[in-house]
Structure 1
Amino acid sequence: MTLPTHTPTPWLHRPPSADASGRVFLVPHAGCGANIFDGWPERRAGVEFLPVELPGRLTRYGDPMPDTFQELAAALIEGLRPFLDLPYALFGHCWSGLAVYEAAVQLGRAGLPMPERLFVSGQVAPQDGPVGRMLGMDDTELAQELSETIRAAGNQPHPELVALYTKVLRTDVEVCRRYVVPEPARLDCPVTAIGWAEDTDVPPERMTGWARCADTAFEVFPGPHHRFLDAPAELLAVLRAGPSS
């Protein structure tokens, strides 16, 4: 049997495997590129983890970032559409939790294959926002926040790169500020809302609103807001089960 092949796309950090049993698309959070998932495994038990490269960063630095989550979701769906031929899930942390939610809304409206499950980490439900410390930060404070994220990923921030990506982060923050959803659309796929026990940015108890958006399971894992960067085993186990459910 000949396995299907896919045309390379700028949206994926690496090409999908033809022999995977399922896929989890990993969408980076505000101000970051797909390389934040460099410490993650490529797959677990046949399910592959595929970092997504968003416009305006890393290899796509010259591509304009959409002004709204709605526009970003439409572009994301178009970019990933050839790779929705297997059971799949979407994972978003903090800012990108809203991006993957909006993508799922639009997938349902378009009648396209829905994710088996949507994973949102460290983010309130859309109708409970916009929220977040960065909404009130000036560019100097955003640069400091970005530097701390880089250090949390085990790297040393370079001043010139921090300056470049502070502009990216500012754009992403403004996208979040414009995302106002008084009444959320209810999804046709289930959600797993993942909180972090030591998260002072978005405590797990603030995430209960996701139950209005879909049939929702709640998980709370040890650690602070950015612990997902370490690919903790308990998180990987939950994500791997998503496209296998």
Structure 2
Amino acid sequence: MTTSTTTPPEVTAAVRRKWFLREPSPESAARIFCLPYSGCGASMYRQWPRFLGEVEIVPIQPPGRENRLREDPYATYEELADDLVEVLRPHLNRPFAFFGHCGSALPGYETAVRLMERGYPAPARLFVSSQVAPHQGPAGRFLEMSDAELGEEVRELIVRLGGKPLPSLVEMSLGILRADVEANKRYRPAEPVRLASPITALGWSGDTEVDHRLMAGWADCGDTSFEVLEGAHYRFMDAPERLMDLLVAGMTSAR
């Protein structure tokens, strides 16, 4: 993986606000920044509580989705990470972590790499769910799907999130999903950067997308603990109690 040599961009307060559905609370003792699943926006975490004890859940809103629909999505995870670390800098003044599921686990990892490269505060933990290690991918059936096949997945996901799969909504979401899939295809680090931050790799017993037994490579990326939770690929959206407990325990032990 190549170290970024670009000058960090200046981020205004107005630009920074667009990355959050709500501003991180000054009352939180710790924060978990949650990146949205491929094709989705930050509102996908709406069933998650805002706080788990003193740990705040902070959904991230990348460009190109929901209230940022008019903006172009990122073409690569590296570009996303370059900007995200600068957006987050004022909010890294207490213990924090990243959570990402499937495709969004990878930009979470890449953002942790960027923080280390720039000498910024390191996450207390990286939570990666249902994704193979970066140097063992790309992986997953979405990578070879046609637009028609991805459209069917979008319809299922919209229903799963409690919405109606109207043609206009499906078309809009398909464009985001296709951009995310292409970014996943482009992400091919030859060797992993080993993080100083501990990693929790979360698999799911009924996941037909990414078998939890394929996640062992995360041990090459840092000190990694592995957990298998009950449920299928999208179970994490429901904020299952076991997942919430692991997030709190991971932050507590890291702190």
Give me the TM-score of the superposition, normalised by structure 2.
0.91
Q: Which amino acid aligns with 1:210?
A: W
| Aligned residue in 1 for 2:27 | 19
| Aligned residue in 1 for 2:45 | 37
Q: CA deviation at 1:242?
A: 3.2
Q: Is residue 96 of structure 2 the alignment partner of residue 88 of structure 1? A: yes
Q: Which amino acid aligns with 1:70?
A: E
CA distance in 2 between counterparts of 1:158 and 1:214 reads: 43
Count residues in correspondence: 240
CA distance in 2 between counterparts of 1:73 and 1:215 reads: 21
| Aligned residue in 2 for 1:3 | none
Aligned match for 1:207, one of 211, 215, 223? 215
Aligned match for 1:9, one of 5, 9, 17? 17
Q: CA deviation at 1:166?
A: 0.4
Deviations 1:145-200 (A, max 9, x none): 11111222233222211101101111111000011112111011010000000001
Unpaired segments ≥5 residues, structure 2: 1-12
Q: Which amino acid aligns with 2:248?
A: R
Q: Is residue 149 of structure 2 the alignment partner of residue 141 of structure 1? A: yes
SS at match of 1:218: strand
Deviations 1:79-116 (A, max 9, x none): 11111111111000000000100001111011101110
Contact 2:200–2:250 under 8 Å retained in 1: no
Q: Is residue 82 of structure 2 the alignment partner of residue 74 of structure 1? A: yes
CA distance in 2 between counterparts of 1:169 and 1:233 reads: 28
| 1:147-226 equivalence runs, <5 A | 147-226=155-234
Q: Is residue 30 of structure 2 the alignment partner of residue 52 of structure 1? A: no
CA distance in 2 between counterparts of 1:228 and 1:42 reads: 15
Unpaired segments ≥5 residues, structure 1: 1-5
Contact 1:11–1:80 under 8 Å retained in 2: no
Question: Is 60-69 or 135-144 further displaced after alignment?
Answer: 60-69
Output the aligned Cα RMSD: 1.3
| Aligned residue in 2 for 1:102 | 110
CA distance in 1 between counterparts of 2:119 and 2:175 reads: 35
CA distance in 1 between counterparts of 2:163 and 2:243 reads: 22
Q: Which amino acid aligns with 2:240?
A: P
Q: Which amino acid aligns with 1:232?
A: P
Q: Which amino acid aligns with 1:166?
A: L
